[in-house]
């Protein structure tokens, strides 16, 4: 099974702090790396995504850093807010056109007020 390993499993951050979630993959054919955010009782929703031809992508307080040689990518949430408390999933796709994603196991983030 082509895995995407995600860490940590849970994370507690103070309001205003930086939340960092890491993922590592094995398959060098992966060419699309999205992050999904899931609130309790809801389906996951796309947060931000990156392709391996760039090393960083920023959207507001959310940044993906990508290290192709290390086969790692991470999500940084700057100025974390209580409303960011959710479960975050990284994922990877191999560009086969079938939209098959391999998801990480998820990180439960809690931002303390």
Partner 1 sequence: NAGVTQTPKFQVLKTGQSMTLQCAQDMNHEYMSWYRQDPGMGLRLIHYSVGAGITDQGEVPNGYNVSRSTTEDFPLRLLSAAPSQTSVYFCASYPSQARGEAFFGQGTRLTVV
Where does this chain bind partner 1 (CB under 8 A)? 1, 6, 9, 32, 34, 36, 41-46, 49, 89, 91, 93, 97-101, 103-106
Residue with smaller CB distance to partner 1, 99 or 113: 99
Residue with smaller CB distance to partner 1, 88 or 111: 88
Beta strands in 19-81 (DSSP E): 19-25, 33-38, 45-50, 56-59, 62-67, 72-77
Residue 96 gets the label, from left (phi > 0), alpha (psi -120 to 50) or beta, of alpha
CB of 27 to partner 1, least distance (A): 14
């Amino acid at each position: 099974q082509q895995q995407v390993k995600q860490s940590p499993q849970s994370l507690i951050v103070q309001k205003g702090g930086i939340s960092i979630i890491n993922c590592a993959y094995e398959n060098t054919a992966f060419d699309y790396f999205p992050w999904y955010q899931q609130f309790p009782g809801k389906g996951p929703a796309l947060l931000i995504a990156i392709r391996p031809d760039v090393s960083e992508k920023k959207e507001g307080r959310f940044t993906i850093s990508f290290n192709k040689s290390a086969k790692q990518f991470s999500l940084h949430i700057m100025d974390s807010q209580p409303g960011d408390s959710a479960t975050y999933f990284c994922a990877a796709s191999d560009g086969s056109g079938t939209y098959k994603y391999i998801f990480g196991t998820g990180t439960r983030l809690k931002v303390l007020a």
